[in-house]
Chain A
């Protein structure tokens, strides 16, 4: 069964600083990979997804993520954080051979942005 680990429960960065949120997954083959963001009181919004091809994927709001097979990682990055990026971020894995395509989520990383 697949699993996802987000090692950082909380991260605080200054506005304008760069950001990297870590995500490691466990799966026997190449999975589908996703990053979602959840703002307070709101549902999850899809930031970006990796299915195949170019391992560097671009998403909304200036985010990008890089799939590294050798490290079983899919870290999320942003070059310059804005105060509105403060939220909780979830990495998720979908198995390619899973008939249901249900997602397995990491525990989340809560991002705080200092002015």
Chain B
């Protein structure tokens, strides 16, 4: 596709349920990033993939959060046993490589997660 796509666009879940968020990066982009944006705040880095490996998981807020990427393409962010503080917009970005051109990142529209 022309840009980064994410699904679902909105997700409402009950506290304690697991959720999966999906990201399709721009074709050919080897680097993929997940960020979280809480209401009225800036973006927090969660995790980064180079190819299918995740050398930097430093931003994951707890062990309830995990992510994987397959085929150097689609990535899934999974939140287990969701809590109300997980409510946020989850943004995915991709870049051509991790270093080329300073790694300008192109963002998807985000998934708005609400945990009741």
Residues on A lying within 8 angstroms of B by beta carbon are 32, 34, 36, 42-46, 49, 51, 90, 92, 94, 96, 99-108
Interchain CA distance A100-B35 in the complex, whole Å: 13
In the complex, the answer to whether A101 meets B95 with C-beta atoms within 8 Å is yes
Cα(A108)–Cα(B105), bound, Å:
17
A105 touching B42, Cβ below 8 Å = yes
Q: How far is the CA of A103 from the CA of B31 in the complex (A)?
A: 13
Question: How many angstroms from the CA of A45 to the CA of B106 in the assembled complex?
Answer: 7
Task: Give a binary string over B73-116; 1 marks a CB under 8 Å from any A CB, 0 the rest.
Answer: 00000000000000000010101001101111111111000000
> Given the interface contacts A32-B103, A102-B59, does A43 sit within 8 Å of B98 by beta carbon?
no
Q: Are A44 and B107 closer than 8 Å at their CB atoms?
A: yes
What is the number of contacts between chain A and chain B, taking CB atoms within 8 Å? 65
B43 with A94: CB separation less than 8 A: no
Query: With A99-B56, A102-B33, A105-B42 in contact, is A94–B102 under 8 Å at CB?
Result: yes
Whether B103 and A94, one on each chain, are in contact in the complex, defined by CB atoms closer than 8 angstroms, is yes
* Cβ contacts under 8 Å, A46 to chain B: 104-106
Smallest CB-CB separation from B112: which chain A residue? A41
Residues of B near A102 (CB, < 8 A) are: 33, 45, 48, 56, 59
Chain B residues in 8 Å Cβ range of A104: 45
23 A-B interface contacts by CB (under 8 A) = A32-B103, A43-B4, A43-B108, A43-B109, A43-B110, A44-B91, A44-B107, A46-B106, A51-B101, A90-B42, A94-B102, A96-B102, A100-B50, A100-B55, A100-B56, A100-B98, A101-B99, A101-B103, A102-B33, A102-B59, A103-B33, A103-B105, A105-B42
